[in-house]
């Protein structure tokens, strides 16, 4: 997450109703190319739009060669084994490969030596939120100190891991370069993307690397930057929300934005009509992954099937997940908002109310303001059949 001032966006009011399942009989149907439901981003930064600027953000395909640097400081000397630091984050590689259906591989290469930073850890500004300029200086100094030992031209991005004794390096923001400035060039190579890990990696675990790397692909934060309930938008349904949530794999919309699912796996309803769709769980490859009902220039409702398998094996509820996407809403202010299909459910230990959101057969969602209706018809072992209607 690059830190800049953000304007709040309005949240939509949703009406949810439970109704008996509809018979799966013939209905007027509408088919349209997936591109009719693709939405442009309007924030000029990380957002849920399909028009990601791949000058500034990485392409989410192929092998990403990552150099891992270990840094200590005059006021926080090296402590612990370098192998232990690497092992703490290494599982991010397998997680990303599984999450992307094998379309992205992180190849993390640790430089097995401590790099001592020229400034005390408390001087970089992490405890005060850190500005872009401060973070760029931090990345620059780490890269320059490592320059005698590294060929930076071999790598796509940096993971900068501080010694655990550096308590002032408190959190783990992502550095995204500004192509309009001189930026950081070391030994002839421009440093474009870096994750500057902090002490929160010991709270979030290795998935903090997957979350922050997803920012380099252009994704926004889905947790809330304001208020007391920071996970009120998506709960634990997406890595960009609650990193330690019970079902943290990327939602289907983001997989489509990345190109991890193809247009042929998207059922699009851009205008009035109705269609019945069998959705295969996003945790498994193949099949139709999302049904999209476009409601405006930057808005849509999305339905997908979720199951407690793979990295979502601790999901608190399973079934059809319904959410609203607004690509004009800025990072941290709810560009994705999950609809809770079971607001009266009692969440078990380790689960929040929104983690119980998945719809079951016989339940329906309606939004009279947009004419959208979604009926859940049937459930299979790794699929759900729904009818989507737009009036």
Place of tokens 């500057």: 196
DSSP state of 265: G
Asked if 66 contacts 158 with a C-beta cutoff of 8 angstroms, the reply is yes
- Strands (E) across 103-153 are located at 104-116
157-162 and 62-72 strand pairing: parallel
Tokens of 341: 């299909």
Tokens of 376: 């859940």
189-190 and 290-294 strand pairing: unpaired
CA 382 to chain centroid, in Å, comes to: 23
Q: DSSP letters of 274-322?
A: EEEEEEEPTTSSSS--EEEEE-SSSEEEEEEEE-S-GGGTT-S--EEEE
Separation CA 322–CA 357 (nearest Å): 8
Q: pLDDT tens-digit profile of 126-179?
A: 987 899 999 999 999 999 999 999 999 999 999 999 999 999 999 999 999 999
Q: Is 41 helix (H, G, I), strand (E, B) or coil?
A: coil
Q: Is 48 helix (H, G, I), strand (E, B) or coil?
A: coil
Per-residue pLDDT of the chain (391 residues; tens, 9 = 90+): 444 333 333 233 333 333 333 333 233 456 799 999 999 999 999 999 999 999 999 999 999 999 999 999 999 999 999 999 999 999 999 999 999 999 999 999 999 999 999 999 999 999 878 999 999 999 999 999 999 999 999 999 999 999 999 999 999 999 999 999 999 999 999 999 999 999 999 999 999 999 999 999 999 999 999 999 999 999 999 999 999 999 999 999 999 999 999 999 999 999 999 999 999 999 999 999 999 999 999 999 999 999 999 999 999 999 999 999 999 999 999 999 999 999 999 999 999 999 999 999 999 999 999 999 999 999 999 999 999 999 9
Separation CA 133–CA 263 (nearest Å): 39
Separation CA 386–CA 290 (nearest Å): 11
Asked if 152 contacts 191 with a C-beta cutoff of 8 angstroms, the reply is yes
Phi, psi of 256 (to 5 degrees): -70, -45
pTM: 0.91
Please say whether the dihedral angle defined by the alpha carbons of residues 336, 341, 344 and 350, taken in this order, is positive or negative: negative
- pLDDT at position 127: 84
Tokens of 315: 């999901």
- pLDDT at position 13: 31
CA dihedral angle for residue 115, residue 194, residue 191, residue 329, rounded to 10 degrees:
-160
Rg of the chain's alpha carbons, rounded to an integer? 22
Q: Widest CA span of the chain, in angstroms?
A: 72
Q: pLDDT tens-digit profile of 328-383?
A: 999 999 999 999 999 999 999 999 999 999 999 999 999 999 999 999 999 999 99
- pLDDT at position 14: 32
**Strand ranges across the sheet with 363-367:** 15-18, 363-367, 372-380, 383-390, 273-280
Residue in 325, 319, 166 with CA at minimum distance from that of residue 240: 325
Phi, psi of 109 (to 5 degrees): -115, 105
């Amino acid at each position: 997450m690059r830190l800049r001032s953000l304007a709040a966006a309005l949240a939509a009011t949703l009406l949810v109703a439970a109704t008996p399942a509809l018979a799966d009989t013939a209905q007027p149907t509408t088919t349209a190319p997936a591109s009719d439901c693709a939405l442009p981003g309007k924030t000029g930064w990380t957002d849920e739009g399909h028009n990601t600027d791949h000058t500034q953000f990485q392409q989410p395909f192929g092998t990403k060669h990552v150099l891992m640097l270990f840094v200590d400081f005059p006021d926080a000397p090296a402590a612990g084994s370098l192998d232990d630091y690497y092992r703490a984050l290494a599982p991010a590689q397998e997680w990303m490969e599984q999450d992307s259906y094998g379309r992205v591989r992180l190849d993390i290469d640790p430089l097995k030596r401590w790099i001592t930073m020229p400034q005390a850890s408390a001087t970089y500004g992490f405890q005060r939120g850190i500005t872009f300029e401060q973070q760029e200086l931090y990345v620059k100094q780490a890269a320059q100190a490592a320059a005698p030992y590294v060929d930076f031209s071999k790598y796509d991005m940096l993971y900068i891991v501080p010694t655990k004794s550096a308590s002032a390096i408190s959190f783990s923001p992502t550095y995204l370069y500004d192509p309009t400035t001189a930026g950081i060039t070391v030994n002839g190579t421009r440093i474009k993307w870096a994750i500057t890990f902090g002490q929160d990696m010991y709270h979030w675990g290795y998935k903090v690397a997957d979350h922050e790397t997803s920012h380099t692909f252009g994704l926004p934060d889905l947790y809330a930057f304001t208020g007391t309930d920071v996970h009120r938008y998506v709960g634990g349904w997406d890595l960009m929300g609650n990193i330690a949530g019970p079902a943290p794999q990327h939602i289907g919309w983001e997989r489509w934005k990345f190109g991890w699912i193809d247009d042929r796996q998207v059922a699009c309803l851009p205008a009035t009509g109705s269609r019945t769709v069998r959705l295969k769980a996003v945790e498994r490859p193949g099949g139709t992954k999302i049904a999209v009902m476009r409601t405006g220039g930057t808005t849509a409702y999305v339905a997908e099937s979720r199951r407690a398998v793979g990295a979502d094996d601790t999901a608190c509820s399973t079934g059809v997940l319904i959410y609203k996407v607004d690509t004009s809403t800025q990072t941290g202010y709810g560009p994705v908002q999950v609809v809770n299909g079971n607001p009266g459910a009692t969440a078990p230990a380790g689960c929040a109310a929104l983690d119980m959101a998945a719809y079951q057969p016989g339940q329906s969602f309606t939004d009279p303001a947009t004419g959208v209706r979604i009926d859940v018809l049937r459930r299979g072992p790794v699929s759900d059949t729904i009818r989507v209607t737009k009036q």
